[in-house]
Amino acid sequence: MAKSSPYLTRRTVLGALAAAAVPHAAKGQEGRDPASQEPTDVRIRIAFNGLTQTASLYDNPTARDLASMLPLDLKIEDYGKNEKIVHLPRKLTEEASGPFANESPGDLCYFKPWGNLALFYADYRWDRLIRLGRFEDGFDPLLVRGEYPVRIERI
């Protein structure tokens, strides 16, 4: 019978360190900042009232879920004094959920409580959003007030 050593071996120490690090590495993936992701080559067109917006989507599960639903013919409407909203036919996955602090006009977001798109043309602060992407060519069409039929499609 082999006698056990009272000293820690290098293998034991490294194994313990690796085991302790794994939960922290996995936790680092939870709630990661969707805004830190680079835009993908997936682009969408949002057309209403003879105007067009183009956005590049981020590489996150919620943006991919939106892209899988396209094309959509819905309604776009004003909400508050900083955004337009589009109610989707179903809720999107919230796997890309995570706080971000660099909100800016031109963001395309998903509002988790209502399950709608939020297209921001002015400053905003809200913690229940998932950033889906950014408008590529400004956001002037969003400044047109009113409610209109909207077509959202991949391009």
DSSP state of 90: S
Q: How confident is the model at residue 93 (pLDDT cuts 50, 70, 90)?
A: very high
Does the predicted TM-score (pTM) go above 0.85?
no
Look up the CATH number of domain 34-154.
2.40.100.20
CA angle, 22 as apex, 20 and 27 as ends, to 5°?
Answer: 110
The reported pLDDT for the residue numbered 20 is: 44
Instruction: Choose among 111, 47, 41: nearest CA to 82.
Output: 111
Say if residue 7's pLDDT is above 70: no
The reported pLDDT for the residue numbered 48 is: 97
Phi, psi of 92 (to 5 degrees): -95, 160
Say if residue 86's pLDDT is above 90: yes
Q: How confident is the model at residue 39 (pLDDT cuts 50, 70, 90)?
A: confident
CA gap 120, 9 in Å, rounded: 57
DSSP state of 124: -
Please, are residues 109 and 118 in contact by the beta-carbon 8 Å criterion? yes
